Amino acid sequence: MNNSLRPHGHNRAPLPPAESSADGVPSPRSPQNQPNQQAQADNRSASGGAKQRDAFFDNAKYLAIVLVAIGHSWEPIKGDSRILEAVYTVVYTFHMPAFIIISGFFSRSFDATPSRLKRLITGVAVPYIVFETAYPLFKRWIAEDPSQEISLLDPWYLTWFLCALFIWRMTTPIWKMVRWPLPLALGLAMAATVTPEIGDDLDLQRVLQFLPYFVLGLVMKPEHFHMVRTRTVRILAVPVFAVALGFGWWAVPRMNTAWFYHRDAAQELGAPWWAGPVMVLAMFGCSLLLTACFFAWVPRRHMWFTALGAGTLYGYLLHGFFVKAGDYQGWFDHGWLHRPLGEIFVSVVAAVGVTLLCTSPVQRVFRFAMEPKMEWAFKRDAAALAREREKREGAGAREKVSA
């Protein structure tokens, strides 16, 4: 999600706030004789038809977005810190895959009907256009860089995810139709890594290289999340993360961090062509392992931050302004911030900041850009008009009878 190598380039609409726990993801203590009830409840939640939200997914989205913000805050200060670089590498292995898997899971009901296309446009396409324009204008102003171009074809910093999500959702019916969706998605990701000619338009390298995680979310079922919500997996997750941190520390001087951004072909990273497909498979396996460990530790019950999971799009798109402002204005240049206590301070500030940006007051202020209604832009659905007409006619008939 980060654009350290290209500082000037590349880098759903949230549902209502959580009310109470739904049954979308079975608890480890759930009765084993109720899988159908669990699946039905999850399907209602995923389709947006239920008033209640699943606390597990809101908790996971919130914790993932906090890791995203912290990772971005580490970008300007990690410098030569091998330990911070190792932690940064481990976080980048799973935080976006986790977020994308959840996005795919909640896209299972997308069927290109007018109502869902409308929501896709207002909740993804419009925010993309707004922020793809706002970020370059922000750089022009705060960095005094009038040469910064505005281009809807070249996702800037954080906006790549909205572009990717729009493409992934639009192709969802295809993935639901083919027989082996995940192997096909992996094949496309592997092919992308040996095709530098794809270029930077719409950040298609990222779209294709992250595609397997979205498709995996599409084919997952509630019981798959139940599999990692066990005491055994939670215990095993501790040594797994410890080994991952140790491997990350070892790999810092030996591996190009840009592999974790999934935005370049192998040749663009100075590696032989065959390294691209190998890295896609290797990183897919590592990412799934760490993502499973992350999900294992996500709380199942309602927490103080559960409701914030409905506002993660706000935190995601808005925190970048503060990170970039600090980068352009030299806030991260202070020497003490590059020491352990300074790095902890920056991490805490980033976590608190993105938390505030996910709150209801911020959502109310920026809803015009994130969740515009835009009724004026769409034709009325013929079926809805027919239902309204029948309702009015029925009401008129009842009034005549009562009279």
Between 99 and 48, the higher pLDDT residue: 99
Mean pLDDT of 37-51: 43
* pLDDT for residue 248 is more than 80: yes
Residue 399 confidence (pLDDT): 65
Residues facing residue 53 across a β-bridge: 21
Residue 379, in any domain of the structure? no
Q: At what angle do helices 82-105 and 160-170 cross, to 10 degrees?
A: 30
* pLDDT for residue 5 is more than 70: no
Between 61 and 34, the higher pLDDT residue: 61
Burial class of 73 by CB neighbour count within 10 A (0 to 12, 13 to 18, 19+): buried
Mean pLDDT of 58-76: 94
Mean pLDDT of 112-121: 89
Residue 38, in any domain of the structure? no
Name the nearest CA neighbour of 214 among 312, 291, 314, 318.
291
* pLDDT for residue 389 is more than 90: no
* pLDDT for residue 392 is more than 80: no
Residue 401, in any domain of the structure? no
Token pair for residue 394?
């029925």
Biggest alpha carbon distance in the chain? 86
Give buried/exposed letters for 107-116 (b at 16+ CB in 10 A, else e): bbebeeeeeb
Q: How confident is the model at residue 20 (pLDDT cuts 50, 70, 90)?
A: very low
Between 6 and 30, the higher pLDDT residue: 6
Compute the half-sphere exposure of residue 278: CA atoms within 13 Å on the CB side of its CA: 6
Contact 344, 81 (CB under 8 A): no
Residue 333 belongs to domain spanning: 53-373
pLDDT in tens, 343-374: 999 999 999 999 999 999 999 999 999 988 88
Contact 302, 113 (CB under 8 A): no
* pLDDT for residue 377 is more than 90: no
CA–CA dist 351, 305 (Å, integer): 12
Distance between the two ends of the chain, CA-based, in angstroms? 65
Residue 130, in any domain of the structure? yes
**Measured between alpha carbons, how far is residue 247 from residues 77, 96, 97, 132 in Å?**
21, 20, 19, 36
Residue 384 confidence (pLDDT): 65
DSSP line for 140-171:
HHHTT-TT----TTS--GGGHHHHHHHHHHHT
Residue 38 confidence (pLDDT): 43
CA–CA dist 49, 168 (Å, integer): 22
Residue 263, in any domain of the structure? yes
Amino acid code (one letter) for 102: I
The helix/strand/coil state of 18 is coil
Q: At what angle do helices 360-370 and 126-142 cross, to 10 degrees?
A: 100
Residue 352, in any domain of the structure? yes
* pLDDT for residue 157 is more than 90: no
What's the number of domains the chain is made of? 1
Name the nearest CA neighbour of 211 among 197, 198, 225.
198
Cβ neighbour number for residue 6 with a 10 Å cutoff: 17
Residue 363, in any domain of the structure? yes
* pLDDT for residue 163 is more than 60: yes
Contact 313, 12 (CB under 8 A): yes
Q: How confident is the model at residue 200 (pLDDT cuts 50, 70, 90)?
A: confident
- Would you give the DSSP letter of residue 254? T
Token pair for residue 189?
């990701």
CA–CA dist 111, 333 (Å, integer): 49
| Choice among 37-41, 219-223, 225-229, 255-259 with the minimum mean pLDDT | 37-41
Residue 42 confidence (pLDDT): 45
Contact 238, 124 (CB under 8 A): no
Positive or negative torsion for Cα 187, 188, 192, 194: positive
Q: How confident is the model at residue 383 (pLDDT cuts 50, 70, 90)?
A: low
pLDDT in tens, 281-293: 999 999 999 999 9
Residue 9, in any domain of the structure? no
Burial class of 401 by CB neighbour count within 10 A (0 to 12, 13 to 18, 19+): exposed
Between 335 and 3, the higher pLDDT residue: 335
Q: What is the CA radius of gyration of the chain?
A: 22
CA–CA dist 44, 22 (Å, integer): 10
